[in-house]
């Protein structure tokens, strides 16, 4: 099972920016959002994380992975590719196209996936997306929805 993860509006809620943010705090996840996300993932040890966020253009995979708890950070295995400008120009479902391109480049046959994003329109209708409220980010409600998605796939792991 693959989890394509956005960051802004998911692990970095917009409410974070209501107060001035110090430069050293710009590359930090909200601890409540992170805790909710990681607690779900711990029940599904074979789920892998691919970063679909624009953060993949600013920070290295290692930098992003280091923001997670060590047991989850090791499961951050890649980033979606940057798409050709023509693809972006001709397709409003750009993150969905990034998922498809990731699978194509990796010759991945197990294409069971779910995305977590605050912008549903980045994916084609009826795609498996947990949509977060950008202001609050990944919360208890998001965790329950992700848990249901992951539980519905065979071979994802030892759900407790």
Q: pLDDT tens track of the chain, all 160 residues?
A: 999 999 999 999 987 766 766 666 668 999 999 999 999 999 999 999 999 999 999 999 999 999 999 999 999 999 999 865 666 666 778 889 899 989 989 888 778 999 999 999 999 999 999 999 999 999 999 999 999 999 998 655 554 4
Give me the domains of the chain, ranges plus CATH numbers: 2-151 (3.40.50)
Q: Answer whether 120's CB lies under 8 Å from 8's CB.
A: no
pLDDT of residue 97: 87
For residues 146, 150, 152, 153, the Cα torsion angle rounded to the nearest 10 degrees is 150
* Sheet with strand 113-117: strands edge to edge: 76-79, 48-51, 2-5, 113-117, 129-131
pLDDT of residue 160: 46
Token pair listed for 5: 């993860």
Q: Which of 159, 61, 50, 56 is nearest to 112 (CA)?
A: 50
Q: Which of 147, 151, 142 is nearest to 30 (CA)?
A: 142
CA 141 – CA 147 distance, rounded (Å): 10
pLDDT of residue 52: 96
Q: Answer whether 149's CB lies under 8 Å from 129's CB.
A: no
pLDDT of residue 86: 66
pLDDT of residue 108: 80
Sign of the CA dihedral running 29, 81, 62, 68? positive
Strand ranges inside the chain, DSSP E = 2-5, 48-51, 76-79, 113-117, 129-131
């Amino acid at each position: 099972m693959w989890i394509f993860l956005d960051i802004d509006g998911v692990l970095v809620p917009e409410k974070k920016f209501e107060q001035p943010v110090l430069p050293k705090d710009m590359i930090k996840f909200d601890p409540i959002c992170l805790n909710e996300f990681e607690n779900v993932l711990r029940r599904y040890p074979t789920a892998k994380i691919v970063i679909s966020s624009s953060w993949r253009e600013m920070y290295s995979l290692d930098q992003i992975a280091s923001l997670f708890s060590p047991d989850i950070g090791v499961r951050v295995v890649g980033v979606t590719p940057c798409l050709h400008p023509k693809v972006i120009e001709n397709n409003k479902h750009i993150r969905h196209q990034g998922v498809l391109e990731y699978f194509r480049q990796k010759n991945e046959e197990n294409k069971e996936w779910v995305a977590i994003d605050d912008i549903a329109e980045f994916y084609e209708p009826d795609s498996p997306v947990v949509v977060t409220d950008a202001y609050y980010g990944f919360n208890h409600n998001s965790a329950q929805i992700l848990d249901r998605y992951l539980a519905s796939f065979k071979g994802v792991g030892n759900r407790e």
